[in-house]
Amino acid sequence: MTAVTNGKIVLEDRVLENGVLLIDGERIAAVGNRGEVTLPKDAEILDADGAFVGPGFVDIHVHGGEGALLCDEPERISAHFLRHGETTVLAALYYHMCKEEFLSASRRVREAMESCGNLRGLYMEGPYMNPEFGAMPEKNLWKGEIRRQDYLPILEAAADLAKVWVIAPERDGIEDFLRDVKAAAPAAVISVGHSRATPGEIGGLKKYGIRLLTHCMDATGWRSLWRGTRGAGPDEACLLDDDMYAEVICDSGAVHVNRDLLRLIWKVKGTDKVVLITDSNVTDAESPAHLQKYSDLVFDDNGDLAGSRLTMDAALRNMMEHTGCTVWEAFCMASRNPARVIGMEKEIGTVDAGKFADLVFLDETYNVKNVMLRGILQQKGWNIC
Ligand SMILES: [Zn+2]
């Protein structure tokens, strides 16, 4: 047994000042105020030294970081995100990849999941997006007709690993694809992304499990109705639909989602339905001059945004800074809600008895001091007595 003492424990709706956390093996055994939780005599004491002790971050949308894609170097890159408190990550595969790349990436991630404790599956950003919202290479199979023989091998290779499939509902033939996805992986969450679908088009496919909008207010569009009158697109569909979660990339300069829109998303969706993601990615392209002051953005060769260099600890700080939300609200968006989206809320996402002891320790400026994965402290020996 390990007893974490002298920490500010971040619960779903408050911070327990000077709380106590009991950890038995890889799970949380008890949590409460000092005095309420009985410390076993032989418990090892871990002095949190006043740190915030929150649920490990759950980052469902990670392409890569530190110079490599997560699916190319899963061991090294998942360790990078773990150092930043991400005790759960999903490797995002995307529509730029050809069929063979989807297959080999799925294979590598599957193998790596045996040894990388925080790598828990795939996030399929594609293959069927709207090519208008993402610079697709000229010769890209996924731009053409949706054909079973093209996607079935990917479903076979990835169905049991993929927790999220992102689609553009306006693509012809998407319903056949969704039917096959749900047959192969009934629990998979369907997300709308890189799309200009109307709320009606999205609503028509809800029965297949649409519950998420991929990077809200990014790579989404709408159709003009008549002479500049504004139609509604995926962002509005998500704001309108209480069941849908909104993914948000919260960078330091509020470039992906500007501050007013961030506040609008939070105001409408509430703390329960916002999911922070990093959409962390790697490219060689240079930043456009006017955005070079922001080091946490990634661009493609056309100078378009292609994700971030964020880690979730930074996204959490940015969200608090841009919206004024509290630390426990930010943790709900960075840990609890994404765990709910991928159906893992019974195991992870909050600091509660029975769940895995996946924890992040943050100092008073919300920088990571240490991380615990399944009861194992990553910086060994820290404050143990
Ligand atoms: Zn994307």
pLDDT bin (cut points 50, 70, 90) of residue 318 is very high
Query: Is residue 43 scored above 80 in pLDDT?
Result: yes
pLDDT bin (cut points 50, 70, 90) of residue 302 is confident
Beta bridge partners of 45: 3
Share of the chain above pLDDT 70, in %: 100
Q: How many helices (H) and strands (E) does the chain have?
A: 10, 20
Find the range with the poorest average confidence among 44-58, 218-232, 307-321, 330-344: 218-232
One-letter amino acid identity for 226?
Answer: W
- List the chain domain ranges: 2-54+350-377, 57-341
Q: How far is the CA of 88 from the centre of ligand 1 (A)?
A: 19
Query: Is residue 225 scored above 90 in pLDDT?
Result: no
What does the alpha-carbon distance between residue 227 and residue 236 come to, in Å, rounded to a whole number? 20
pLDDT bin (cut points 50, 70, 90) of residue 247 is very high
Q: 127: cis peptide before it, omega within 30°?
A: yes
Q: How far is the CA of 69 from the centre of ligand 1 (A)?
A: 14
Query: Tokens 């007013």 sit at which residue?
Result: 260
Q: How far is the CA of 256 from the centre of ligand 1 (A)?
A: 11
Find the range with the poorest average confidence among 139-143, 205-209, 267-271, 340-344: 139-143
Q: How far is the CA of 62 from the centre of ligand 1 (A)?
A: 10
Q: Quick check: 175 and 206 in contact, CB under 8 A?
A: no
What pLDDT was estimated at residue 286? 87
pLDDT bin (cut points 50, 70, 90) of residue 317 is very high
Tell me the C-alpha to C-alpha distance, in Å, between residue 318 and each of 51, 88, 264, 336.
Answer: 19, 20, 16, 18
One-letter amino acid identity for 325?
Answer: C
What pLDDT was estimated at residue 370? 97
Q: How far is the CA of 284 from the centre of ligand 1 (A)?
A: 17
Query: Is residue 372 scored above 90 in pLDDT?
Result: yes
**What pLDDT, in 10s, does the model give residues 147-182?**
999 999 999 999 999 999 999 999 999 999 999 999
DSSP per-residue letters across 104-171: HHHHHHHHHTTT-TTEEEEEEE-SS--GGGS---SS-GGGS---HHHHHHHHHHHTTTEEEEEE-TTS
Burial of residue 263 (CB within 10 Å: 0-12, 13-18, 19+) is middle
Dihedrals phi, psi of 16, to nearest 5 degrees: -85, 105
User: In the chain, what is the greatest distance between 2 CA atoms, to the nearest angstrom?
Assistant: 75
Fold: same for 2-54+350-377 and 57-341: no
Q: How far is the CA of 46 from the centre of ligand 1 (A)?
A: 40
Pairing mode of beta strands 15-24, 27-33: antiparallel
pTM, whole model, 2 decimals? 0.97
What CATH class does 57-341 carry? alpha beta
* Superfamily in which the 2-54+350-377 domain is placed by CATH: Urease, subunit C, domain 1 (2.30.40.10)
Query: Is residue 381 scored above 90 in pLDDT?
Result: no
The residue among 107, 133, 85, 128 whose CA lies nearest residue 278 is 85
Query: Tokens 């927790």 sit at which residue?
Result: 163
Mean pLDDT of all residues belonging to the chain: 95
Q: How far is the CA of 63 from the centre of ligand 1 (A)?
A: 9
Query: Is residue 37 scored above 80 in pLDDT?
Result: yes
Q: How far is the CA of 125 from the centre of ligand 1 (A)?
A: 7
